[in-house]
Amino acid sequence: MFPRVTESSRPFLLEATRDGLHIDGTLLWLDAKQGKELSFLSRCPPQLKKITSKILATEETIHLLRLFQTEVDALSCQYHRPFSIGSLSLELLPTGASFGSAALLLRQKNSSILYLPELGFLPPASLLDFPPVSQVIVGAFCANPKSTQAHFEAEWDRLLLQISRSIEGGSLPFIVTPFLDFPQRLLSVPALQSTPMHLHPLLARAERVYEKFGISKSIYQAPPLESAMMISPFLPSRKQTDLFNRPLLTIVRDDHRAKWTDSPGQSIFHFSFFCQKIYRQLFKQTNPEQIYFVGPYALRYAKEFRKCAPQVQPLYAEKQPSLF
């Protein structure tokens, strides 16, 4: 049974910067990637810029990070295994957003904070893993905070339909995705399990990580490109002229790029895990005194959820005003 938060709780002071958040009075940073003494990394970032901070993350995230850089200064942590750093008590909790992603539960004396920048699909019972805390920090990356259904569900069905139509029409698509585990998502669809998939080398190396953790059941072997569906984290280069005649299916995270729309030869799919109902359930379960939003739409979210806690506000990098 988790201890309830009392009125005597003292909140952590937070400093927002352009490179993550800092818990004032501690050495701990949150998702700060450059030169910090210790930073919790909630997931493997999609960008390829080298991380120089000493990081605290799940073993899965660290293995994925090594796909981008060979040297990683990291402390590996498991889910649901509390540990201490000085006077701080820390615990990592699964978020369902991506392979190895985690939330951070931080306690110190009468202060407690839940850092949850991204929340994916979790069964309702899993929300019970998040205990009552005095502060919650969550992401604001979907353009519409009123969304009652995660875009991922509808967009996933639309993507599968487009893939099927392309294959039936004799054209194998070129799929661009920011998700390293996307091939595994496709392989979970029975109708596509027999479709050859040619993976970009980065995604092929990611398959080795999934094999290590028992997620991928077979060793990936690259089929001939001309007879396979191509999956890559990058758009085709000018040298890959043979790929330009293929249907181009591009997946984007539904954040500041939400205005992307379909164009001739290219279909856009916005993948967002945000659902207003889940956020409200989270706030009801954690019962925080303060809620903070981070991301490009922080101000919109603060207005939408203003009645969910006594204090609800956006966190701006270096106190710069939000555009939204």
Residue 161: its pLDDT value, please?
94
Domain contains 5: no
- 200 and 119 within one domain: no
pLDDT of 5 above 60: no
The pLDDT of 219-245, averaged and rounded, is 76
What pTM was estimated for this model as a whole? 0.85
Q: Which of 44-48, 150-154, 291-295 has the highest mean pLDDT?
A: 291-295
pLDDT of 57 above 50: yes
Work out how many domains the chain is built from and give that number: 2
Domain contains 4: no
Among 178-187, 199-208, 315-324, the range scoring the smallest mean pLDDT is: 315-324
Paired residues of 259 in beta bridges: none
pLDDT of 4 above 80: no
Residue 1: its pLDDT value, please?
31
- Domain of 198 in residue numbering reads as 151-271
Question: How far, in Å, CA of 68 to CA of 276, rounded?
Answer: 34
- 158 and 67 within one domain: no
Contact residues for 123 (Cβ-Cβ < 8 A; gap 6+) = none
Length of the chain: 324
CATH number at residue 291: 3.60.15.10
Tokens of 272: 């967002």
- 251 and 184 within one domain: yes
Contact 89, 82 (CB under 8 A): yes
For 198-246, the DSSP string reads: EE-HHHHHHHHHHHHTT---S---PPPGGGSEEEESSPPPTT-GGGTTS
Q: What is the pLDDT of residues 260-305, one digit of tens each?
A: 666 777 888 888 778 888 899 999 999 999 999 998 899 999 999 9
> Between 318 and 133, where is the model more confident?
133
**Closest CA relative to residue 173, chosen from 183, 162, 182:** 162
pLDDT of 256 above 50: no
The pLDDT of 41-49, averaged and rounded, is 80
For the chain, what is the largest distance between any 2 Cα atoms, rounded to a whole number of angstroms?
Answer: 66
Residue 7: its pLDDT value, please?
44
Contact residues for 282 (Cβ-Cβ < 8 A; gap 6+) = 116, 119, 127, 130, 136, 138
Domain contains 6: no
Contact residues for 26 (Cβ-Cβ < 8 A; gap 6+) = 86, 88, 108
Sign of CA dihedral 61, 156, 169, 241: negative
Residue 284 buriedness (CB in 10 A; 0-12 / 13-18 / 19+): exposed
- 141 and 34 within one domain: yes
Our measurement of the distance from residue 135's CA atom to the centroid of its chain's CA atoms, rounded to an integer in Å, reads 20
pLDDT of 2 above 50: no
pLDDT of 9 above 80: no
Question: How far, in Å, CA of 42 to CA of 37, rounded?
Answer: 16
Q: Give the DSSP H/E element, type plus range, for residue 116.
A: strand 111-116
Domain contains 1: no
CATH number at residue 194: 3.40.50
pLDDT of 224 above 90: no
- Average pLDDT of the chain to the nearest whole number: 84
